[in-house]
Amino acid sequence: MKKVVRATLAFGVVSGMLVYNALRGRKKRTFPPPHALILDPSLIEGRAIPFEGVPNFRDFGGYPTQDGRYVRRGLLYRSGALSDLSPNDIAKLRALGVKLVCDLRTDYESEVAPDTPFEGAELWRLPVIQQDESAVKARTFLFDRHRLDAVMIETYQMFVRQKAHIFGAAITRFAQAENLPALFHCSAGKDRTGILAALLLGALGVSDELILADYSLSNFFYAEFRKATEPQEHRLRAVRLTLDDLQPMLVSDPAYLEAALAAIREECGSLEAYLLQKAGVSAETLARLREIFLE
């Protein structure tokens, strides 16, 4: 994960040097501590699966739906990057029976820190954004470092408005039983992964309250995310940034995802309409998804 973070931050640092003077003297902001953003800490029980080299690995299932059913466990997992798998981690993934690994990272992230292949699993790259988009976003973060929480909200809304077809492609493959159990991930397993998880849970009929609470569980792993950025601390200092300044990028604030869900409903009326009209998921696929994942 550290390799991915180094590669991602490097794009913005050079650009940030150019705006050093513009950033000087602005008042620092404080943000809520990560643990305060966890909406229901009890939900982590039975979902978090410890790995030696994989952050934020969790079972996707176990949640009740609004019609009284439950999302099956053991069919779908979410996590951070698989670039640092240990032999024990590989054995654990094989024991879980993972057949498909969906990598939502940019091509650059995947090339710098490729997923470790393991027997029996297909590694499928499905970048949510391209590297040029990532570089633009990194520069935006540096220009707007004192409103990073607002920038994160804008980024989440951009994801659901402009990348619906990417998320739809993942949902379509997860609705095919031959691909399961499956795993999807980005770098930390919280942003791109968090949005896809929210869309899947929503498609299955899980309430917004539980969707947001599940998303907030990534804050249990904040210390790992922060530690992964520490090697870049000297670069951040060059543009008068600290790790504390980056906190909005490292946390999973439910407000980010809530804004994305609001954007979906504003544009399409409902989550199901979004999936059918904008994400390209067919009605047959949604029916099959529910048949497979609900009990």
Q: Which residues of the chain have pLDDT under 70?
A: 1-29, 131-146
| Residue pair 258/212 in contact by the 8 Å Cβ criterion | yes
- Asked, as a colleague might, if the bond just before 87 is cis with ω within 30 of 0, I would say no
What pLDDT, on a 0 to 100 scale, did the predictor assign at position 13?
36
Report the distance separating Cα 191 and Cα 9, nearest Å. Answer: 16
Strand pairing class (122-125; 58-59): unpaired
What pLDDT, on a 0 to 100 scale, did the predictor assign at position 88?
98
| Residue pair 167/195 in contact by the 8 Å Cβ criterion | yes
Q: What is the pLDDT of residues 252-294, one digit of tens each?
A: 999 999 999 999 999 999 999 999 999 999 999 999 999 999 9
pTM: 0.89
Query: For the purposes of burial, counting CB atoms within 10 Å of the CB of 73, is it exposed (0-12), middle (13-18) or buried (19 or more)?
Result: middle
What pLDDT, on a 0 to 100 scale, did the predictor assign at position 232?
77
Residue-range domains of the chain with CATH: 2-23+31-293 (3.90.190.10)
The residues, ordered by sequence, that sit 6+ positions from 37 with a Cβ below 8 Å of its Cβ are: 216, 219, 251, 252, 253, 254
Query: For the purposes of burial, counting CB atoms within 10 Å of the CB of 156, is it exposed (0-12), middle (13-18) or buried (19 or more)?
Result: buried
Enumerate the β-bridge partners of residue 71.
Answer: 294
